[in-house]
Amino acid sequence: MHRFSDLVSNVVSSTLHDINRRHLKISEELQTKANTSLIIGLKTLKMQKAILVTGMFSMFEAELQKELSCENGFKECKKFLLEIGNNKLVSQLQISLDAINVLKHGKGRSYNRLVEKSKDLPFVIKLPNQDFFFEGDVSEIKTLIEVDDDFINYCLSIISDVDSAILNKK
C-alpha cells in the first residue's frame, strides 16, 4: 500500500500544474478581453486551491485515525510527536491546522492565534481591518489565508514530515 503522503504529493503536484496552466491561459486572455467570465475563472482557480488544501488535511486526519488507532487523529498525532520529542513539528502542525480551521470557519480562536504570530508565519494571513491581500488583484477570493502554491506546499511538507515521523517510530 502506498503512503498517504506520497499519494497526496502526486495529487498536489498534478493539480497545481493544471491550475497554474489554466491560470496562465486565462491571464493571457484577459490581456485582450475584459470578460467577467475570465475573472470568475481566476477566482474559481483560487477557490480550487483552498478546497485542495482543506481536503488534504481532512483526509490526513482520517489517515491518522487509522495509523494511530484513535478517534481524534490530530490530537493523538500531536501527543505522539511530543512523546518522541519533536516539538518543532507539533508547532508547525498546529500552525497548519489553525490555518485550515481559518479557511473552513473564518475568524475565531485559530485566527486569533495566527494573528498573534503573523510576523513569523510562513504564509500570509489577512490581518484585522485588512480588506485585501493585494489591492487590485481581481482574482482574490474572500479568505483570511492567502492560499497560494507556497502555502499549499508548506502544508504538504508538514503532512509529509508527520507521516515520516509516524512511519519511522512504528
Residue 158 binned pLDDT confidence (cut-offs 50, 70, 90): very high
Indicate whether 136 pLDDT > 80. Answer: no
Q: Around 24, how many Cα atoms within 13 Å sit in the side-chain half-sphere? A: 6
At 137-149, the pLDDT tens digits run 888 889 999 999 9
Residue-range definition of the domain harbouring residue 98:
4-169
How many domains does the chain fold into? 1
Biggest CA–CA distance in the chain, Å, is 58
What is the rounded CA–CA span in Å between residue 31 and residue 85?
Answer: 53
Strand partners, 125: 145
Identify the H or E element spanning 152: helix 149-169
Residue 170 binned pLDDT confidence (cut-offs 50, 70, 90): low
Q: pTM here? A: 0.92
